[in-house]
Amino acid sequence: MTTPYLSLANRFVCDIPRYEAGRPVEEVARRYRLDPQRIIKLASNENALGPSPRAVEAMRVALKEMHRYPDGGVFYLRRDLAKQLGVTPEHLVFGCGSNEIIELLFHAFVAPGDEVVVGDRAFVIYKFLCTTFQARCVEVPFREQTHDLRAMRTAISPRTKLVFIANPNNPTGTRVSNEELDWFVRQLPSHVICVLDEAYVEFLDDPPPSVGYALSHRVVLLRTFSKIVGLAGLRIGYGIAQPSCIELLERVRQPFNVSAVAQVGARAALRDRAHIRRTVAMTRAGMRFLTDEFRRLGLEFIPSVANFVMVNVHDGDRVFERLQRRGIIVRPMRAYGMPQWIRVTIGRPQENRAFVRALRSELNGEA
């Protein structure tokens, strides 16, 4: 007889939804008996150029020391990154992806019954963590496909602890204007922490002065090595905030939450400016190509400033499934309440062309 664990579990655990990640290449290859080498994954906003070659080389060398625990204080990466950002090392905290920093913020600041304000089409992880931490998630409807900061300000109550703004947002690819953000940050009540999730900020050509906000206001920035430098598999991200906040986050993390390989790889990637420039250029060109093709196909899309774009294909689940059979993985958007839509990551030029070809023949009902 199997043991039923359900009766032993914390009640709220059953309410936590499962995060539906982009399908891994190997899984799709097994399921549809496809050659993994030929599968095109445009499902998780990864960097289609691959990781920075300089990061790969630095990590290869570091592998010989893997019998050692990592530096729990992340000394060298912290020093280099602080210098690049114009902050002190005490303004930074590192995590197993920036997703871990989100969790650390809940650990440090959110108690059961507290309120957390999010946009209704913002990155879903914020909402999921509210369930885990038994907080009340106050969902504010998006306006024109982006965060409605005025409405979010109105939603703040005396019980509000955190307000999340993903800028640019995933999955919509939209941003808030620098003026609106400035207004929001300046009138933030003193009992509220504004979390600016900037996973895609490096793709903006006029980013907000957010590091300045983190230094002088109750604002925490979340950044990641998963997108712009192409190290999603390594799991490393960071937070920027005033030292009094960082100090609290440091208390609630595990001692070795960032691996030694990740520290070395991230540090080398920071210096690889050429790889970052190539990534931005490829993304811009790919975005132009895809949106031109969507127009030609008469498909509605949400103009995006990130490295992915949402397009209305009328039946997102079906198109997702059909493209997958052809070896192209995208993301259906039902989980975000947009079942007609898919989200597609900008790939390399030949990947984008293959996606458009497959999409066109699907929409024309060709086998």
Ligand X SMILES: *Cc1c(COP(=O)(O)O)cnc(C)c1O
Task: Please report, as ranges, the residues that interact with ligand X according to CB under 6 A.
Answer: 45, 97-99, 123, 166, 170, 197, 199, 224, 226-227, 232, 237
Q: Which of 124, 46, 42, 50 is nearest to 344 (CA)?
A: 42
> Closest approach of Cβ 29 to ligand X, in Å?
23
**Closest CB to ligand X among residues 47, 160:** 47
> Closest approach of Cβ 218 to ligand X, in Å?
20
In one-letter notation, the amino acid at residue 129 is L
> Closest approach of Cβ 109 to ligand X, in Å?
18
**Closest CB to ligand X among residues 163, 232:** 232
Strands 301-302 and 331-332 come out as unpaired
> Closest approach of Cβ 81 to ligand X, in Å?
14
**Closest CB to ligand X among residues 99, 210:** 99
> Closest approach of Cβ 36 to ligand X, in Å?
22
In contact, 262 and 51? CB cutoff 8 Å? no
> Closest approach of Cβ 96 to ligand X, in Å?
7
Residue nearest to ligand X (CB): 97
**Closest CB to ligand X among residues 99, 283:** 99
> CA-to-CA distance for 170 and 197, rounded, in angstroms?
10
**Closest CB to ligand X among residues 97, 347:** 97
**Closest CB to ligand X among residues 266, 358:** 266
In contact, 303 and 311? CB cutoff 8 Å? no
Q: Is the preceding omega at residue 89 within 30 degrees of 0, hence cis?
A: no
Instruction: Please name the residues in contact with 282: beta carbons below 8 A apart, sequence gap of 6 or more.
Output: 48, 49, 346, 348, 349
Q: Is 153 helix (H, G, I), strand (E, B) or coil?
A: helix
Burial of 216 (0-12, 13-18, 19+ CB in 10 A): exposed
> Closest approach of Cβ 149 to ligand X, in Å?
17
E strand intervals along 174-287: 193-197, 219-224, 237-240
> Closest approach of Cβ 168 to ligand X, in Å?
8
Strands 160-166 and 193-197 come out as parallel
**Closest CB to ligand X among residues 322, 336:** 336
Kindly tell me the number of DSSP H helices and DSSP E strands found in the chain: 13, 13
DSSP assignment letter at 336: G
**Closest CB to ligand X among residues 123, 327:** 123
